[in-house]
Amino acid sequence: MVVKLGVKHAKRESKIHQKIARSRKDFQYKTAHKLTRTGKKVVSIQLLAVS
C-alpha cells in the first residue's frame, strides 16, 4: 500500500531532518574544537565497518 504525502508534510519532514543533520554537524565541530583547545598531542581515528 502506497501512502502519498502532502507537500506540507514533506516540507515539514525535510526541515526536521535538516535540523538533525545540522545539530550533528555542530556537535562534531564543537567536539573537535574542544579537543584542539585542550592541547592534546595524540588524536586517534577509528574506521568502523558497518554491516
Output the pLDDT for position 6: 82
In three-state form (DSSP H/G/I as H, E/B as E, the rest C), the secondary structure along 22-50 is HHHHHHHHHHHHHHHHCCCCCCCCCCCCC
N-terminal to C-terminal alpha carbon distance within the chain = 29
pLDDT of amino acid 20: 95
Global pTM value: 0.57
Per-residue pLDDT of the chain (51 residues; tens, 9 = 90+): 556 668 888 889 999 999 999 999 999 999 888 888 887 666 677 888 876
pLDDT computed for residue 15 by the predictor: 94
The 3-state DSSP class for residue 9 equals helix
Residue 43, pLDDT score: 67
